[in-house]
């Protein structure tokens, strides 16, 4: 047990090295980032709090305020479960420390325990964002006693265990009994897409449910119907969550304590099953994980000729970036897949709430009216900015080099060209995202073709803007010290900063174009001039400041 604790500590330290190690300068920068992130979270937590507060008042009228806990807790459990599937595969099987741990005289249970604990700690963060405002608002508004908060802390700590155990067992079984893992890259991409599909399905159900809950009559109906509600759906996934919910609701009575005890016993039991199964499944699944499929075949004359064509440096550099993005599972799921999913995201509300399609059709006459052209153009510009920022390709492009950053310093290609190779890769995927949306826009909004063409051309200015902005942020504080690719992209604040920043700019564009309406020709000229200048300035910053900064990064 002791060794498990030590191992957990080491694994956690490894994950947060950029914050803990290094001198004072780094620490200051790290605390700055944490403050920034907290600020970014505040509006989110506040809006959740506000939403819950209103919901509480609505439900209090019919004395059903417990429904808040009954919705939030299973929701958290499900979120943890789905994040957990990907997270656990990465930490248990695909993280690079595995090869160093396997030769040590550690029992599977010790490695599993430590790895499970690391995942648990990270999941607490996700859990905190949702459950803390829920417990706080509910507790205060319902005038709960101290016992409620103590129960709350305990439940908070043990709630994620069961979904994570379930996710672990699913992962361990898959890894043990499928040969898919022989090609670990393909498996990770497949698993990631699978998890996303499930998440989207849940999203559709949640949206349908959310629509019903805003209407008090519907709520009554829902309560009467019983079986159809989200609570029942989620509880049927993890029935034990129901006990935790009742334990919170009854915290002031004896039955609450009784339910808490039962919940703890179930959790401990689940964890023991996990360890027991782990002993049988884990080593059998993890040994040999780093093997990669290979053919070892001599290239034919034709293949060799095809693969040795000369191309310009920036082109070749861009293609290299794209190949790595497509072939590295974590990069594919975070930076590439998103660009192709935009149409699904846009269609989602319509699939979830078929009625909203009617609202949309009533919009069509307005949009087809020629006076709406300028609005479409500024919306396309905003869209290009946002799509490109959210693929995080340029805003993690320096970070993704990691320990191999030295490569860009010894090759005889100047830094501007190399950075432009990265910018191009981000732009290509941004343009891809736009191209995915356009057919949907034509189909749903019945836009005129010439407006679409002009909007697309204008949006490229926005795409260029986001790509430059992203690399500017990443070159200022790249995250180079990572041991799994996940940390270069998912645990990299530069991506978030660039998304938030670009979202702000996109919102400004929409705001101004509503506030100061211009006709079609004027808006095209205005946008081209303004963004032409901004892009030019950013490009100049890239060739001067960014080059200096990149040169100055020690590696």
Partner 1 sequence: MIDLINVNKSYGGENKAVDGINISIRDGEVFGFLGPNGAGKTTTIKLITGILDFDSGSIKINDISIKDNPIGAKKQFGFVPDSPDMFLRLKGIEYLNFMADIYEVSSEVRKERIEKLSKRFEMTKALGDQIQSYSHGMRQKIIIIGALIHEPSVWILDEPMTGLDPKSSYILKEMMREHADKGNTVFFSTHILEVAEKICDRVAVINKGKIIFVGTLNEMRNHFKENESLEKMFLEMTENE
Footprint of partner 1 (CB under 8 A): 23, 185, 292-299, 303-305, 307-313, 316-317, 320, 323-324, 327-328, 403-404, 406-407, 409-414, 551-552, 554-555
CA distance 236 to 68: 18
- CB closer to partner 1, 228 vs 290: 290
Closest CA to 404 of 490, 485, 318: 485
- Joined tokens for residue 138: 């509910």
Query: Rounded to the nearest whole angstrom, what is the least distance from the CB of residue 210 to partner 1 in the complex?
Result: 41
- CB closer to partner 1, 26 vs 208: 26
Query: Rounded to the nearest whole angstrom, what is the least distance from the CB of residue 312 to partner 1 in the complex?
Result: 8
Query: Rounded to the nearest whole angstrom, what is the least distance from the CB of residue 96 to partner 1 in the complex?
Result: 10
- CB closer to partner 1, 232 vs 483: 483
Rounded to the nearest 10°, the torsion over CA 120, 495, 85, 189 is -150
CA distance 173 to 168: 8
Query: Rounded to the nearest whole angstrom, what is the least distance from the CB of residue 324 to partner 1 in the complex?
Result: 6
User: Are the C-beta atoms of residues 115 and 274 closer than 8 Å to each other?
Assistant: no
Q: How many CB atoms lie within 10 A of CB 544?
A: 11
Task: Assign 3-state DSSP to the chain and report helix, strand, coil percentages, each to 5.
Answer: 85, 0, 15
Query: Rounded to the nearest whole angstrom, what is the least distance from the CB of residue 554 to partner 1 in the complex?
Result: 7
Closest CA to 185 of 278, 292, 340: 292
CA distance 82 to 199: 7
- CB closer to partner 1, 22 vs 439: 22
Contacts of 60 (CB under 8 A, 6+ apart): 141
The dihedral built from the CA positions of residue 46, 49, 53 and 58, taken in this order, carries a sign that is positive
- CB closer to partner 1, 252 vs 311: 311
Query: Rounded to the nearest whole angstrom, what is the least distance from the CB of residue 38 to partner 1 in the complex?
Result: 30
Start-to-end Cα distance in the chain: 38
User: Are the C-beta atoms of residues 499 and 112 closer than 8 Å to each other?
Assistant: no
- CB closer to partner 1, 97 vs 185: 185
Query: Rounded to the nearest whole angstrom, what is the least distance from the CB of residue 493 to partner 1 in the complex?
Result: 25
Query: Rounded to the nearest whole angstrom, what is the least distance from the CB of residue 405 to partner 1 in the complex?
Result: 9
Query: Rounded to the nearest whole angstrom, what is the least distance from the CB of residue 320 to partner 1 in the complex?
Result: 5
Please give the radius of gyration of the chain, using alpha carbons only, rounded to the nearest integer.
Answer: 26
- CB closer to partner 1, 316 vs 491: 316
- CB closer to partner 1, 293 vs 449: 293
- CB closer to partner 1, 227 vs 300: 300
Query: Rounded to the nearest whole angstrom, what is the least distance from the CB of residue 24 to partner 1 in the complex?
Result: 11
CA distance 426 to 334: 13
Q: What is the DSSP letter of 487?
A: H
Query: Rounded to the nearest whole angstrom, what is the least distance from the CB of residue 413 to partner 1 in the complex?
Result: 6
CA distance 215 to 172: 43
| Phi and psi torsions of 13, nearest 5° | -60, -40
User: Are the C-beta atoms of residues 547 and 416 closer than 8 Å to each other?
Assistant: yes
- CB closer to partner 1, 289 vs 452: 289
Query: Rounded to the nearest whole angstrom, what is the least distance from the CB of residue 264 to partner 1 in the complex?
Result: 44
CA distance 149 to 154: 9
Rounded to the nearest 10°, the torsion over CA 401, 403, 406, 407 is -50
- CB closer to partner 1, 31 vs 96: 96
Token pair 């057919």 in the structure block, residue: 439
Q: What is the DSSP letter of 104?
A: S
As a residue count, the chain comes to 555
- CB closer to partner 1, 242 vs 422: 422
């Amino acid at each position: 047990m002791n060794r498990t604790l030590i191992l957990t500590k080491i694994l956690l330290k490894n994950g947060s090295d950029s914050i803990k190690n290094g001198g004072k300068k780094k620490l200051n920068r790290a605390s700055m980032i944490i403050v920034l992130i907290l600020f970014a979270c505040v509006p989110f937590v506040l809006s959740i709090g506000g939403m819950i507060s209103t919901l509480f008042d609505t439900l209090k009228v019919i004395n059903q305020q417990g429904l808040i806990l009954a919705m939030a807790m299973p929701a958290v459990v499900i979120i943890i479960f789905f994040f957990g599937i990907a997270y656990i595969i990465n930490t248990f099987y695909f993280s690079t420390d595995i090869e160093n741990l396997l030769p040590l005289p550690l029992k599977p249970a010790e490695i599993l325990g430590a790895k499970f604990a690391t995942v648990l700690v990270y999941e607490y963060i996700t859990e905190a964002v949702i459950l803390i405002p829920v417990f706080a608002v509910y507790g205060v508004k319902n005038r709960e006693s101290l016992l409620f908060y103590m129960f709350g802390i305990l439940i908070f700590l043990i709630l994620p265990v069961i979904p994570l155990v379930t996710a672990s067992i699913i992962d361990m079984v898959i890894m043990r009994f499928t040969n898919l893992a022989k090609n670990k890259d393909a498996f990770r991409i497949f698993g990631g897409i699978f998890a996303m599909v499930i998440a989207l399905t849940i999203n559709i159900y949640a949206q349908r449910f959310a629509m019903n809950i805003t209407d008090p009559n519907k709520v009554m109906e829902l309560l009467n119907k019983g079986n159809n509600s989200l609570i029942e759906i989620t509880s049927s996934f993890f029935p034990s969550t129901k006990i935790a919910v009742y334990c919170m609701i009854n915290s002031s009575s004896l039955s609450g304590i009784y339910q808490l005890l039962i919940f703890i016993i179930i959790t401990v039991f689940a964890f023991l099953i996990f360890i027991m199964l782990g002993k049988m499944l884990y080593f059998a699944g993890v040994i040999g994980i780093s093997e990669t499929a290979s053919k070892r075949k001599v290239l034919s004359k034709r293949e060799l000729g095809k693969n040795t064509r000369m191309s310009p440096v920036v082109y070749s550099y861009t293609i290299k970036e794209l190949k790595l993005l497509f072939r590295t599972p974590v990069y594919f799921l975070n930076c590439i897949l998103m660009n192709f999913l935009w149409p699904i995201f846009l269609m989602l509300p319509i699939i979830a709430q078929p009625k909203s399609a009617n609202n949309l059709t009533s919009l069509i006459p307005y949009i087809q009216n020629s006076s709406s052209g300028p609005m479409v153009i500024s919306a396309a510009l905003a869209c290009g900015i946002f799509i490109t920022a959210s693929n995080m390709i340029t805003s993690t492009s320096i970070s993704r080099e990691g320990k191999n950053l030295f490569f860009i310093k010894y090759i005889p290609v100047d830094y501007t060209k190399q950075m432009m190779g990265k910018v191009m890769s981000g732009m290509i995927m941004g343009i891809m995202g736009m191209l995915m949306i356009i057919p949907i826009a034509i189909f749903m909004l019945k836009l005129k073709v010439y407006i679409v063409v002009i909007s697309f051309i204008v949006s490229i200015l926005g795409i260029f803007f986001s790509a430059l902005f992203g690399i500017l942020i990443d070159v200022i504080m790249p995250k180079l010290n990572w041991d799994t690719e996940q940390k270069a992209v998912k645990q990299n604040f530069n991506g978030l900063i660039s998304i938030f920043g670009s979202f702000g700019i996109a919102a400004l564009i929409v705001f101004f174009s509503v506030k100061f309406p211009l006709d079609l020709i004027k808006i095209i000229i205005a946008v081209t001039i303004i963004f032409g200048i901004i892009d030019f300035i950013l490009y100049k910053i890239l060739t001067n400041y960014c080059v200096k900064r990149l040169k100055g990064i020690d590696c």
